[in-house]
Chain A
């Protein structure tokens, strides 16, 4: 039975305002193999659950050490040390943490549980023209789960939106396509030399899947991360323009500016960041890019302004 699917989810945002039209519930699926240099959701990479620890919040109360049965937590010289290899993800330390410094990223949901949560805000979707967005990570890594949730949503006439890098087998895209009303489709890099260094994405696959969406006349908002000194160049911008001119299903372009809010999450997960991105993009440069788009395209081009995003926590 498809309804027995289990999905691994690392966050659910209700009243999400920036992931498609209207008021939405956005589901963040775990698992992504791209490891993009600018990623601000490193907690999404591993498809398994993992323990996060915000060292700057820790008050060294040692409640966690007291309750942990697996000796994950220890304290030495006023420092809280973690042995993640021992962690069984039981979550007991999280329940007693006095500063909310500990958190388990990744929770299992059945499609039914998730859907029953999503449909609680149906009245708000109806009033605003909103719905459900599934994001990630790369949600297509758990495509069977996504497909079933969308199927349930469509039965209730809830608008569905998939936020994807497009990096998946075309057969997967084809299986899902009828259940998705709108694709938020990433286009990250144009210069193929950059691929190995900044992202493990395959341009050919991404473009091919975009072509499939166009063939099926599926609405797409192209989401383009703009990162200082990586892809804020004319070549990339012109490639985007060409794509938008070629595929008429692209109805809008969102430029997502890089921000460094994700920096601490690498530390929180005990990971090293591969790249140091020095600066957030300067607004002058961004405006020039936007103007270039506006001159060459007749679809809306928006700049996401992270200052206005509603905090999730």
Chain B
């Protein structure tokens, strides 16, 4: 894009921001600058519009960045800024840009949140840089995981919602500023429709293909239509949902089969479209989602209890899975909710799609999860039916609850710090409680209790940090597009983070759970039962990365491990898990959060955090990956898949907000033993399994792909809570995936 335009945008956005002190007015005015500016034009082959590229500064609930400590709401993007500097700039322009930069560096929520930390929080959370710096606990600054009420949007249309807001305005005068804000935001949405309608018109002139031209005409008409009326076709419904999703900055799609299927069926029944055309539409929607590249998010949910139009929705679900099969990509993260008595066609179709080498759909078990969510969130069963996994697998109640994962805890590092009297060894930082040196713990109970106390200290600080983040969010902006489609905000006349929604909660990402449990199993056996070495000696070995202690390391590796259906190891895992989850859950008594729950969901942080974690008592070497999600350490699950699954279900799922179970299965299992495989899945779900994420491979696929990546461009694997092309991953993440047991 032209330099002048980019600089002008930067200046305009900043000026408007600076000029407006009222947070509602400020957001509205900034949105007017941002949209449609941020949106990209339609590209050849696109069936819908709404692609975008982040500019240098923008308003968004959660940014998509690989860097730590970026912040939310008004986000300044340093990478984009540096791109601007690449232009041939005059001295005046350089100075202007520099001034803008200095302004935004102070004026961001990450900075503001940290500035408001208490002394204790500063101590426990000394850095935001979880990617490079060693530490036990880290804050994340984001308002992540919104799932909006698309059903409400599609059933009422923009005009219907405007009417509802207008009506409320009359009855509640004090909320009129907020209501006016929402109305203006919807005007911004309408101008975006106009922008795209014009874009399509001019783009269409050069399109030769007659069919595509016809489609563009329909799309154009739909954009005009959705401005003032309810959507009347599947095409218009998809476009309305997708454009709203893009403009809101929300990254997940919710129960897509429920809110789109009535449009599908109506179009099919009226003969407006054929099934093949419907498939093409959904494939086209999938391609739009792929283009957004939201690899850790982009969840679309199908199946499950509580859909108001189950029969229609099931038909949509089959088409959705077929779209996933056809597009064969890492997005959307299609999620199938299962339950006893459901339409069996859905599971059959899912197995076929997965068996072809797709990592989707992921399977979630309603028969366990609804009750688990009911208990963990302390809400009714009926409300719990609308649980939705978003992102890497955190549960929220769509358009009712918010539970941004705003903290990270590395349990293995917590144990490490406990053995070192509260000090983080690599940085020398005093981060934790001074509970004693390794030699001071005289019994297994001593060290276990000290670890628990230490971990609790960090959880306390993380919960306060979570609460603080929402306070900052509420003070910063009303997040109008989210508020419009979140239940109760319009009704209450309050924005999402200012008391508008029913359940404002939070989630805490925990890592190293399995390694910590296995470390304790080894400590119990080798240090306190068999007395092979002392805890002090163990600490020396850990610091030495076992160099010179190979025999001792082997004893640790040969100690009982979680994931083998062995009581002695699994009971330790249960203890670590229950303590972590229950203590975290109890933070609602110390904060204003409605819920605060552990998620053992895992992206690639098991590997990233492992890079800065010392060797551990389970025999793991320093700087290597920790186990993924709830899984056993790769290669340590030696008793077969049923043993692993039996271990998994021992961890109580009623005290957290989601855990991921990645399984690597052989292609042969799908080909030759489909019936037995389905029986295996059903058995697992019947015995309490909450969910499964399957990656299907041939035995040598991964190793060959490392040697000849060019031959495996489409080898999809499940990393943690997200999928990736194997050849594009960093080598230690590849290693972690290779190390997982193939069943």
Residues of B within 8 A of A311 (CB): 742
Question: Known interface pairs A15-B743, A17-B673, A310-B743. Does A126 touch B640 (Cβ–Cβ under 8 Å)?
Answer: no
Q: Are B640 and A95 in contact (CB under 8 A)?
A: no
Across the two chains, which residue of chain B brings its CB closest to A124?
Answer: B683
Q: Are A120 and B683 in contact (CB under 8 A)?
A: no
Q: Are A128 and B643 in contact (CB under 8 A)?
A: no
Per-position 1/0 for B517-541, Cβ under 8 A of A: 0000000000000000000000000
Q: Does A256 contact B (CB under 8 A)?
A: no
Q: Are A313 and B679 in contact (CB under 8 A)?
A: no
Question: Known interface pairs A96-B554, A96-B555. Does A308 touch B680 (Cβ–Cβ under 8 Å)?
Answer: no
Residues of B within 8 A of A129 (CB): 679
Q: Does B642 contact A (CB under 8 A)?
A: yes
Per-position 1/0 for B73-90, Cβ under 8 A of A: 000000000000000000
Q: Does A14 contact B (CB under 8 A)?
A: yes
A14-B644 Cα distance, complex, nearest whole Å: 10
* Interface of chain B residues 665 through 716 with chain A (CB within 8 A): 666, 668-669, 671-673, 675-676, 679-680, 682-683, 686-687
* Interface of chain B residues 696 through 743 with chain A (CB within 8 A): 742-743
Q: Does B638 contact A (CB under 8 A)?
A: yes
Question: Known interface pairs A15-B641, A15-B642. Does A120 touch B550 (Cβ–Cβ under 8 Å)?
Answer: no
From B640, B672, B682, name the one whose CB has the most chain A CB atoms within 10 angstroms. B640
A232-B17 Cα distance, complex, nearest whole Å: 86
Q: Are B551 and A14 in contact (CB under 8 A)?
A: no
Interface size of A in residues (CB-CB distance below 8 Å): 30
Q: Does A97 contact B (CB under 8 A)?
A: yes
A14-B646 Cα distance, complex, nearest whole Å: 12
Q: Does A61 contact B (CB under 8 A)?
A: yes
Q: Are A15 and B680 in contact (CB under 8 A)?
A: yes
Q: Does A127 contact B (CB under 8 A)?
A: yes
Residues of B within 8 A of A66 (CB): 551
A176-B554 Cα distance, complex, nearest whole Å: 43
- Chain B contact residues, majority secondary structure: helix
Question: Known interface pairs A61-B550, A98-B550, A308-B668. Does A23 touch B743 (Cβ–Cβ under 8 Å)?
Answer: no
Q: Are A121 and B551 in contact (CB under 8 A)?
A: no
Q: Are B743 and A128 in contact (CB under 8 A)?
A: no
Q: Are A22 and B676 in contact (CB under 8 A)?
A: yes
From A61, A63, A96, A124, name the one whose CB has the most chain B CB atoms within 10 angstroms. A124
Residues of A within 8 A of B329 (CB): none
Question: Known interface pairs A14-B640, A14-B642. Does A128 touch B555 (Cβ–Cβ under 8 Å)?
Answer: no
Question: Known interface pairs A97-B554, A124-B679. Does A313 touch B638 (Cβ–Cβ under 8 Å)?
Answer: yes
Residues of B within 8 A of A123 (CB): 683, 686-687
Q: Does A67 contact B (CB under 8 A)?
A: yes
Q: Are A124 and B642 in contact (CB under 8 A)?
A: yes
A128: which of B638, B641, B683, B687 is its contact (CB, 8 Å)? B683
Q: Does A285 contact B (CB under 8 A)?
A: no
A97-B638 Cα distance, complex, nearest whole Å: 17
Minimal beta-carbon separation of B399 from chain A (angstroms): 36
Q: Does A13 contact B (CB under 8 A)?
A: yes
A23-B674 Cα distance, complex, nearest whole Å: 12
B640: which of A15, A96, A128 is its contact (CB, 8 Å)? A15
A135-B643 Cα distance, complex, nearest whole Å: 20
A98-B668 Cα distance, complex, nearest whole Å: 31
* Interface of chain A residues 44 through 95 with chain B (CB within 8 A): 61, 63, 66-67, 94-95
Q: Does B639 contact A (CB under 8 A)?
A: yes
A17-B682 Cα distance, complex, nearest whole Å: 16
Residues of B within 8 A of A127 (CB): 679-680, 682-683, 686
Across the two chains, which residue of chain B brings its CB closest to A13?
Answer: B640
Residues of A within 8 A of B680 (CB): 15, 23, 124, 127-128
Q: Does B272 contact A (CB under 8 A)?
A: no
B554: which of A22, A63, A126 is its contact (CB, 8 Å)? A63
Residues of B within 8 A of A307 (CB): 668
Q: Does B3 contact A (CB under 8 A)?
A: no
Q: Are A96 and B551 in contact (CB under 8 A)?
A: yes
A127-B678 Cα distance, complex, nearest whole Å: 9
* Interface of chain A residues 110 through 146 with chain B (CB within 8 A): 120-121, 123-124, 126-130
Across the two chains, which residue of chain A brings its CB closest to B641?
Answer: A15
Q: Are B554 and A23 in contact (CB under 8 A)?
A: no
Q: Are B550 and A128 in contact (CB under 8 A)?
A: no
A127-B565 Cα distance, complex, nearest whole Å: 19
A12-B565 Cα distance, complex, nearest whole Å: 13
A96-B555 Cα distance, complex, nearest whole Å: 6
A12-B643 Cα distance, complex, nearest whole Å: 12
A12-B638 Cα distance, complex, nearest whole Å: 11
* Interface of chain B residues 628 through 670 with chain A (CB within 8 A): 638-643, 646, 666, 668-669
Residues of A within 8 A of B673 (CB): 17
Residues of B within 8 A of A23 (CB): 642, 676, 679-680, 683
Per-position 1/0 for A1-41, Cβ under 8 A of B: 00000000000111101000011000000000000000000
A14: which of B643, B666, B668 is its contact (CB, 8 Å)? B643
Q: Are B642 and A121 in contact (CB under 8 A)?
A: yes
Residues of B within 8 A of A313 (CB): 638
Q: Are A67 and B679 in contact (CB under 8 A)?
A: no
A121: which of B555, B646, B675, B742 is its contact (CB, 8 Å)? B646
* Interface of chain B residues 555 through 569 with chain A (CB within 8 A): 555, 558, 565
Per-position 1/0 for A281-300, Cβ under 8 A of B: 00000000000000000000
* Interface of chain B residues 294 through 340 with chain A (CB within 8 A): none
A23-B683 Cα distance, complex, nearest whole Å: 10
Question: Known interface pairs A22-B679, A127-B682. Does A14 touch B554 (Cβ–Cβ under 8 Å)?
Answer: no
Residues of B within 8 A of A67 (CB): 551
Residues of A within 8 A of B676 (CB): 17, 22-23, 128, 130
Residues of A within 8 A of B742 (CB): 311
Residues of B within 8 A of A98 (CB): 550, 554
A123-B683 Cα distance, complex, nearest whole Å: 5
A130-B642 Cα distance, complex, nearest whole Å: 13
Residues of B within 8 A of A94 (CB): 558
B646: which of A17, A22, A120 is its contact (CB, 8 Å)? A120
Residues of A within 8 A of B646 (CB): 120-121
Residues of B within 8 A of A15 (CB): 640-642, 680, 743
Minimal beta-carbon separation of B393 from chain A (angstroms): 24
Across the two chains, which residue of chain B brings its CB closest to A67?
Answer: B551
A14-B566 Cα distance, complex, nearest whole Å: 13
Residues of A within 8 A of B558 (CB): 94-96
Residues of B within 8 A of A13 (CB): 640
Across the two chains, which residue of chain A brings its CB closest to B672?
Answer: A308
A79-B186 Cα distance, complex, nearest whole Å: 79
Across the two chains, which residue of chain A brings its CB closest to B668?
Answer: A308
Residues of B within 8 A of A124 (CB): 642, 679-680, 683
From A61, A63, A67, A123, name the one whose CB has the most chain B CB atoms within 10 angstroms. A123
A39-B488 Cα distance, complex, nearest whole Å: 72
Residues of A within 8 A of B554 (CB): 63, 95-98
Across the two chains, which residue of chain B brings its CB closest to A313?
Answer: B638
Minimal beta-carbon separation of B717 from chain A (angstroms): 19
A311-B565 Cα distance, complex, nearest whole Å: 19
A123-B671 Cα distance, complex, nearest whole Å: 23
What 6 A-B pairs come out closest when comparing CB atoms? A128-B679, A14-B640, A127-B679, A124-B683, A127-B683, A96-B554
Chosen A-B contacts, 21 in total, with CB atoms closer than 8 Å, are A14-B641, A14-B643, A15-B680, A23-B680, A63-B551, A67-B551, A95-B558, A96-B551, A96-B555, A97-B554, A98-B550, A120-B565, A120-B646, A121-B642, A121-B646, A121-B683, A123-B687, A127-B683, A130-B676, A307-B668, A308-B668
Measured CB to CB, the residues of B under 8 A from A are 550-551, 554-555, 558, 565, 638-643, 646, 666, 668-669, 671-673, 675-676, 679-680, 682-683, 686-687, 742-743
Measured CB to CB, the residues of A under 8 A from B are 12-15, 17, 22-23, 61, 63, 66-67, 94-98, 120-121, 123-124, 126-130, 307-308, 310-311, 313
Besides A15-B641, A127-B680, 11 other CB < 8 A contacts? A95-B554, A95-B558, A96-B551, A96-B558, A120-B642, A123-B686, A127-B682, A127-B683, A128-B675, A130-B676, A313-B638
